[in-house]
């Protein structure tokens, strides 16, 4: 699973597959099932990557590992929203509207795209996070 974050990096959860071992140039130490080492990753501590850890990729292509428990406490996935909702967010932001106006339009039925107002009202927390933090289009 690949996760896109608001921060300026992407993270991918290490699954132990040969594809990911090759992609990140990991060397299987052979001493512990699911544990791999890499001279290429900027690692702390023992320098190992365990299955379930996250491998982050920065804007310059650099990689570093983040333990799964630390990742879950520190970062949240961006919400996934429908394409028509994403188009509405873009349009409202171009019009310099605030979130209150969007919710008001959704409640009054003034949103011009069919189904968008209903989706916003049914998923108001997800919509607010998408508005404030960014989103991924499903």
- Do residues 60 and 48 touch, judged by C-beta distance below 8 A? no
Q: What is the pLDDT of residue 31?
A: 39
Share of the chain above pLDDT 70, in %: 78
Kindly report the average pLDDT of the chain as a whole number: 80
Residue 28 in this model has a pLDDT that exceeds 50: yes
Which structure tokens are listed for 52? 């379930």
117-137: average pLDDT: 93
34-38: average pLDDT: 54
DSSP, res 42: B
What confidence tens digit (pLDDT) does each residue in 96-117 have?
999 999 999 998 887 767 789 9
What pairs with residue 50 in β-bridges? Answer: 35
- Specify the higher pLDDT residue, 47 or 18: 18
0.85 surpassed by pTM: no
Which structure tokens are listed for 10? 């992407």
- Do residues 75 and 11 touch, judged by C-beta distance below 8 A? yes
Helices 83-94, 124-133: axis angle to 10 degrees equals: 50
């Amino acid at each position: 699973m690949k996760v896109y974050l608001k921060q300026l990096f992407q993270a991918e959860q290490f699954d132990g597959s040969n594809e990911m071992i090759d992609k990140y140039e990991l060397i299987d130490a052979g001493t512990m099932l699911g544990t791999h080492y890499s001279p290429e990753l900027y690692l702390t501590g023992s320098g190992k990557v365990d299955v379930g850890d996250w491998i982050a990729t920065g804007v310059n292509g650099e990689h570093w590992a983040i333990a799964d428990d630390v990742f879950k406490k520190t970062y949240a996935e961006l919400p996934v929203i429908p394409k028509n909702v994403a188009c509405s967010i873009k349009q409202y932001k171009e019009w310099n509207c605030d979130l209150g106006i969007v919710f008001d339009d959704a409640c009054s039925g003034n949103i011009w795209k069919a189904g968008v107002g209903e989706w916003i009202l049914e998923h108001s927390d997800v919509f607010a996070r998408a508005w404030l933090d960014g989103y991924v289009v499903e």
